[in-house]
Structure 1
Amino acid sequence: MRKHIANCFTLLNLVFGSLAVIQILQGLPGLSAGSSAEETVARMCVASLFICLAAVVDFLDGLIARLLSATSEMGKQLDSLADLVSFGVAPGLILYEFLLISYTGTGGSNSAINYWYLLPALLVPLAGAYRLARFNLGTSFSTEFEGLPIPAGGILIAAFPLIYINTELSGMQELLKAPYFWYAVVAVVSFLMISTLPMMSLKFKNLSFVQNWPKFLLIILAIILGLWLHWLAVPLVFLVYIVLSVMMLRKP
């Protein structure tokens, strides 16, 4: 019974990820479903919020499983399947839509577009699937990851529609309409996921500040930057996470 409690949270992760996919593709009933660039980005913003909710329950399912001593192989596999949808497929569709906007000026279909230009967006879910499969072959609890965790990459990508809508920085929307920016995002996120670079896990074995100070530092910076910069803080926190991970966990 205890195992099913954690699994219910995992399935809720999948629900939010599926809702994000539906919202990106056509819009949920009663929500924006237009095809102009602004309507498409507004639709993606709702999807981004679903991805954020998926991240919250993804954190909770692991926490609950550990607190209840209810970890299981089924839960591990189920978690990876849900993560692939919420943090791989849904963010990949966000990248696809932004590339479509970059080349056509709208989020709708356009017969003039060469769809080969859009296919790199699929590299993120592909790299995420590889990353999750490799994770499932490893230990279930570790103080570090091998390669970027797929939720981190998914949250980074999910932040961009919200940055686009809410930014007041001059030139930010133009940057987010540039195809080469998105190719760079695809390349960086995909490479980090399939790499063997050590990445910090936010799982706590204890609350010792001495042993966990990089994690506490990251959390404090995330709170401060979030209050100050709002969604624009996400790429900065992502960068800090990568730098801290490589600096603190690199092999001698």
Structure 2
Amino acid sequence: MKQVPNILTLSNLFCGALAIIFILHAPQYIAEFNGTEYSITNPAPVYWASLLVVIAGVIDYFDGFVARLLKVSSPLGRELDSLADVVTFGVVPGMILFRLLRSAYLQQPDVFDVSYFNLAPALLVPCFAAYRLAVFNLDTRQSEHFIGVPTPAVGFLVASFPLIMLYNPYNLAHWLENIWVLYGIIFLLCYLMVSSHPMISLKFKNFSVKDNWPRFLLVAVTLVSIPVLRYAAVPFIFAVYVGLSLIVPPKSAEK
């Protein structure tokens, strides 16, 4: 039974690795528009990558819970969890942002002058995610709250982008086609992951409203916004999560 949490963690990693395969093997074809040929990426496999990130996020939430339930928590499990997270919630979001940047540049008049250096900032996301997870493993203050935005939150946010591009709720896809908006998102996420701001953890030690009202509020916002905003709910929930954490720092951070 002691290996059950590790198996769950490896399932998280499996989902992340499979998501990368889907992103890398998104088929491309040549389309002609007004006499000019463009290389177009079929986005369908990227949507599957988004789904795999969500599945991995659910697994990531429960592997620690199962370890505590079975009383088999170990340093090995902690290290393994971070190694899996850096792939699923670091590398995969970086690859998705890389694809989005590439698609955004395809709409520019000088598209054929774009080099990989223009797209390389997307790879800062896995770098900062790795640094954030390494710090997390060494920081004993993060048992009841997070310092900096956790990588799964970043993974969920970026995984919603291909679905927003597909369904275009509230015309948000227009913003994700802007290279400067994408650069801004990349640098903001990198900063938030390694910042010193205390962030709310969804780990409930008890169900007291007084002790957990920010958590209950976040859960309520999530439940209400998903049917109303659909895929646009993910950026909204992320913004509420960060804003709520900054306005009402976790009580454990005040000790």
Asked if structure 1 preserves the Cα contact closer than 8 Å seen for 2:169 and 2:232, the reply is no
Where does the alignment leave 5 or more consecutive residues of structure 1 unmatched? Answer: 28-32
Asked if structure 2 preserves the Cα contact closer than 8 Å seen for 1:42 and 1:165, the reply is no
- Say if 1:35 and 1:71 are closer, same or farther in 2 by CA, change over 3 A: farther
Larger radius of gyration, structure 1 or 2? Answer: 2
Asked if structure 2 preserves the Cα contact closer than 8 Å seen for 1:14 and 1:83, the reply is yes
**How far does residue 200 in structure 1 lie from its aligned partner after superposition?**
0.7
- Say if 1:19 and 1:35 are closer, same or farther in 2 by CA, change over 3 A: farther
Report matched runs for 1:202-217 at 5 Å: 202-217=202-217
- How many residues matched? 242
Where does the alignment leave 5 or more consecutive residues of structure 2 unmatched? Answer: 31-38
Letter in 1 for 2:50: S
Q: What is the rounded CA distance, in whole Å, between the counterparts of 1:214 and 1:222 in structure 2?
A: 12
Comparing 84-93 with 160-169, which one deviates more in the overlay?
A: 160-169
* CA RMSD across the alignment: 2.0
Letter in 2 for 1:157: V
The TM-score, its normalising length taken from structure 1, stands at 0.90
- What is the match of residue 154 of structure 1? 155
Q: What is the rounded CA distance, in whole Å, between the counterparts of 2:149 and 2:196 in structure 1?
A: 9
- What is the match of residue 88 of structure 1? 90
Fraction of identical pairs, as percent: 42
Structure 1 residues 41-97: Cα deviation after superposition (integer angstroms, max 9, x where no partner): 322111000001110100110111111111110000000000000000000000000
Report matched runs for 1:1-252 at 5 Å: 1-2=1-2, 4-27=3-26, 33-35=27-29, 39-105=41-107, 112-139=113-140, 142-170=143-171, 172-249=172-249
Letter in 2 for 1:13: N
Letter in 1 for 2:28: G
Point out 4+ residue stretches in structure 1 off by more than 3 angstroms: 34-40
Comparing 161-170 with 220-229, which one deviates more in the overlay?
A: 161-170
The TM-score, its normalising length taken from structure 2, stands at 0.89
- What is the match of residue 30 of structure 1? none
Letter in 2 for 1:34: Q
Q: What is the rounded CA distance, in whole Å, between the counterparts of 2:243 and 2:72 in structure 1?
A: 33
- Say if 1:61 and 1:38 are closer, same or farther in 2 by CA, change over 3 A: farther
**How far does residue 245 in structure 1 lie from its aligned partner after superposition?**
0.8
